Structure 1
Amino acid sequence: MARAHRYTVEVTWTGNTGTGTSGYRDFSRDHEVRGDGKPVLPGSSDPAFRGDPGRYNPEELLVAALSQCHLLWFLHLAATAGVVVTGYTDRPEGTMTENADGAGEFTEVVLRPAVTVADPGMVDAVPGLHERAHQMCFIARSVNFPVHHQPSTSAADSAV
């Protein structure tokens, strides 16, 4: 039976510099994302759209969500398959195309997980775990653009 999960946050604009949105350059894109009992996440728009480069933008957070979802599924699947993961780092990259009218959309995200396993005998199982993690990831299943993977695996200090 399917179960429904709900996710609630609060997003509050904090960029009123005194005159609201009286002009395109007259307000900050700064905002805060809050969740019950969690640290405040400072947000803004991409610097290309007059945002604060010191704050996370929605595009970065979408790429991060895809990476996190893959990571969490991968670790779960590795544990149940008896593959001992001792390290995992990803440097994902998303590509968004902006149209002439200012609208845009993501055209792809590439995940680049670098996984370290405890034993060289576990390396061959890793590609299948990445494939299954991609199939299971809630976020990847929900987007309308491709999510590609360029994984690397190492064991006992030797790259594979």
Structure 2
Amino acid sequence: MESGVLLAMSVDRFVAIYNPLRYTALVTLPRIAGTGAALGMKNLIQLPCGDTRPNSILGLCIVTSTIGLDSLLIVVSYMLILYTVLGITSGEGRWKALNMCVSHICAVLVYYVPMISVALVHRFLKHAAPAVRLLLANVYLLVPPVLNPIIYSVRTKQIRQGLIQLFLQRKY
């Protein structure tokens, strides 16, 4: 579900940068509801009491689409954003457009880097100490939910100033 939400957010950023004047006409409530329904349908797995093979195949397809298709589409979306931003003539306009995407790029990295690390350790370091695998699994489960609110709230000027004041008070 998380990668689907990140994909929807990257497409939203692309629409906001590519055609900001038509954003409200393009991103309508029915389209948002349809995106939410599609995300919910993608993650729906029923557990039958009988043969679990179809369930296993469906799970494999969902994992493949999550890691493969969602990440590919996020990369394509950001390539289109970069292409659009490079077409902006003013330096200030480029900076504002790129600054709008920084927090989302950080959220994507916070989600995908631990996930890929866990997958690589599980695949290639099977003889590694169980503590390493356990640590990476915990990082994958705990770091993204902890860092996401921080990533998105640091952009708020009042929160940023409050954090700066908090750290400056601790020095003295």
Q: What's the TM-score, normalizing by structure 1?
A: 0.29
Larger helix proportion of the pair: 2
Larger strand proportion of the pair: 1
Higher RCO (CA-CA < 8 Å; seq separation 6+): 2
